[in-house]
Amino acid sequence: MPLDWSPLVDLLRHHERPLLMTHIRPDADGMGAQLALHDALTAIGLKPRVAIASKLLPRYAFLDPKRIVIEDFRPANFTDRDCVLVLDTGTWNQLGDFGDWLKKSPLPRAVVDHHRTQDDLGGLQLVDITAEATGRLAYEIIRAMGAPISKSAAHHMFMAIATDTGWFRHPNATAETFALCGELVAAGANPTVLYEQLYEAATLARFKLTAVALERLAVRANGKIAYTEIALSDYEKTGGVPGDTEDLINYPRGVEGVDLALVFIEQPGGGTKVSFRSRAADVSKLAEQFGGGGHKLASGARVNKPLAEAREEVLAAAELLLATA
């Protein structure tokens, strides 16, 4: 059932300076939704601003090369805002330093998301776990506001939806997905350009880091679990950056016979980031055991333990999940 957007429409009708935020390590869905809403809300006279609470990954630099729209979040720079829209997440642990600011802020806020795992961030909670991407929810908001869909907004929403469906390979790509994307292409989205920029413009360093991950591919549970890992030292060896790990999960997931795939990434500030993918098992429940969450078939967590220790603990839990599924 479609969400009732009237409470959010009312909020935006009475607050003309929204801050559009997404999760740390922002991806194409979160930023696609931010940029599309920024364009549409500006067109109807509002004054939105887009910010991110962690570094913009190099692969997304093409979205705003001169950083005119996408700003780094600094509390002192956003005292003019009168409300907050949090897009593509509803959990405190995905907000970084912005989350600390939001907890203290008196500003009205709304969460717009499609992930199952949610905290209470206060304010409106508009969550549709049947939506294939937050990009779709951005489209619904724009329609509910009566705002136009420009070529730029269509381009960004197509990007959001295409990437969160694995370029239409995952089960969340439905007939409705293709119908909406057809509408967005008719409005000016350019899938060819987007695919080239996202998937055919990798640096040599990114390929070298991928080679390291491929070399470390291993399996457990009679080949039903595949995993790999990246250590901090690998960045210096290859010239890669943390953002270059974004798609590594596709490799263990692609191993024949694998039901559950994981990638372990050592973090600069300590701890280990873990990405989970599954073909059937609910990995959001597995991620939640380690303070994370997400979708049934795609989730993530950050484990506050060294790489080797986190790996063994998470793999043991993954084996138990498959054994009891």
Angle at 180 between CA 17 and CA 60, to 5 degrees: 55
Which amino acid is located at 284 in the chain?
S
CA atoms of 235 and 206, how far apart (whole Å) = 9
CA atoms of 167 and 150, how far apart (whole Å) = 22
Give the pLDDT confidence score for residue 269 in this predicted structure.
85
> Torsion over CA of 310, 312, 315 and 321, rounded to 10 degrees?
-90
User: Using an 8 Å Cβ cutoff, are 284 and 278 in contact?
Assistant: no
Other CB atoms within a 10 A radius of the CB of residue 126 amount to 20
Give the pLDDT confidence score for residue 325 in this predicted structure.
74
The pTM of the full predicted model, rounded to 2 decimals, is 0.90
Give the pLDDT confidence score for residue 20 in this predicted structure.
98
CA atoms of 229 and 218, how far apart (whole Å) = 10
Give the pLDDT confidence score for residue 1 in this predicted structure.
60
Q: What is the separation of C-alpha 313 from the centre of its chain, rounded to a whole number of angstroms? A: 25
218-220 and 225-230: which strand pairing?
Answer: antiparallel
Give the pLDDT confidence score for residue 77 in this predicted structure.
95
- The neighbouring-strand residues paired with 266 are 272
Q: What is the pLDDT along the chain (325 residues), one digit of tens a residue?
A: 689 999 999 999 999 999 999 999 999 999 999 999 999 999 999 999 999 999 998 899 999 999 999 999 999 999 999 999 999 999 999 999 999 999 999 999 999 999 999 999 999 999 999 999 999 999 999 999 999 999 999 999 999 999 999 999 999 999 999 999 999 999 999 999 999 999 999 999 999 999 999 999 999 999 999 999 999 999 999 999 999 999 999 999 999 999 999 999 999 989 999 999 999 999 999 999 999 999 899 999 999 999 999 999 999 999 999 998 7
Give the pLDDT confidence score for residue 68 in this predicted structure.
96
Give the pLDDT confidence score for residue 215 in this predicted structure.
98
CA atoms of 27 and 255, how far apart (whole Å) = 25
Other CB atoms within a 10 A radius of the CB of residue 5 amount to 19
Measured CA distances, 233 to 127, 176, 237, 241, 268 (Å): 39, 44, 6, 11, 10
- The structural domains of the chain, ordered by start, are 6-199 (3.90.1640.10), 204-324 (3.10.310.30)
- The neighbouring-strand residues paired with 275 are 263, 300
